[in-house]
Structure 1
Amino acid sequence: MSLTYDLDQLDMAVHHILSHTKSRTLLFYGEMGAGKTTLINALSRQLGAEEPASSPTFSLVNEYLSQEGRIFHFDFYRITSEAEALDMGIEDYFDTDAWKFIEWPQKILSLLPEDAQKVEITVKNGNRRLLKLC
């Protein structure tokens, strides 16, 4: 299921994701600068988070409280092995009923839950993006 959107149409992209996802664990794939964190920020706002989402590149995970419960936002760009994710307790996070948004999930492939929803973001040109839910 795919959708093409401009960055000023983030609400439409968020609605598409929330209407069609089958999981509370979303895996965000896309090149650097594709808009993963921007989309996660918009998703968090739509779910009722009061503080803006920012990339947890150095802390690996940020937690936000929302009207829909807790949201965990992971960024595994800087890890060098799956052991780092295990050391930070990724399995415990996966066992919660919280929303889990994961940037750079390809760094922890063997640890990902089977029911996770893949979200691919492709830059088409300038502000235009192609969003695919797989």
Structure 2
Amino acid sequence: MLTFSIPDLAALPAVAAQVRAAIDGHSIICFEGEMGAGKTTFIKALCRELGVAEEVSSPTFALVNEYRTARDEPIYHFDFYRLNAPREAEDIGVQEYFDSGYLCLVEWPSRIDALLPPDCLLLTLTVTGPSSRELAIMKYEL
């Protein structure tokens, strides 16, 4: 397990660069943390690190947003918080996204556990203060 301290928002770019190196070779990255822990905020920083120029926002109602890296490769950003059942993720073709080999960033993955492949990474954000967080990276245990 790797852990990173994020003392404040100013530290996000440096931590995002370290996380980018740590997740290299993995295509499905799951994000857990309490509401307001900063999952989407961290994903914004990670996408900037990957060269995404467009606005990164939570796909809470759309379930998935697509962004483009500096190399014109897609990044798929999912937010499954509002799912009533994993079937809703199946209906949007989540398996095809996961099978694409492109980077998939998944918020609230526990809502679709049965659909996740076994080689996912889990990034957990824990609130440690008003603006500080701890980020831990480990293998996602289904």
TM bin, normalised by shorter chain, reads over 0.9
Identical aligned residues as a percent: 42
- TM-score (normalised: structure 1): 0.96
Q: Does 1:121 align with 2:131?
A: no
Out of 16, 32, 39, the position equivalent to 1:36 is: 39
- Report how far residue 16 of structure 1 moved: 2.0
1:78 match: 82
- TM-score (normalised: structure 2): 0.91
- Write out the 4+ residue segments of structure 1 that deviate beyond 6 Å after TM superposition: none
Provide the aligned C-alpha RMSD in A: 1.0
1:52 match: 55
1:64 match: 67
Out of 94, 109, 113, the position equivalent to 1:105 is: 109
Determine if contact 1:30/1:36 at 8 Å carries over to the other structure.
yes
Q: Deviations over 1:85-110 (max 9, x none)?
A: 11110000011121110000010001
Q: Does 1:91 align with 2:95?
A: yes
Q: For 2:5 and 2:49, locate their aligned partners in 1 and report how far apart those are by CA, in whole Å.
A: 19
Structure 2: 5+ residue runs without aligned partners?
none
Q: For 1:98 and 1:42, locate their aligned partners in 2 and report how far apart those are by CA, in whole Å.
A: 18
Structure 1: 5+ residue runs without aligned partners?
none
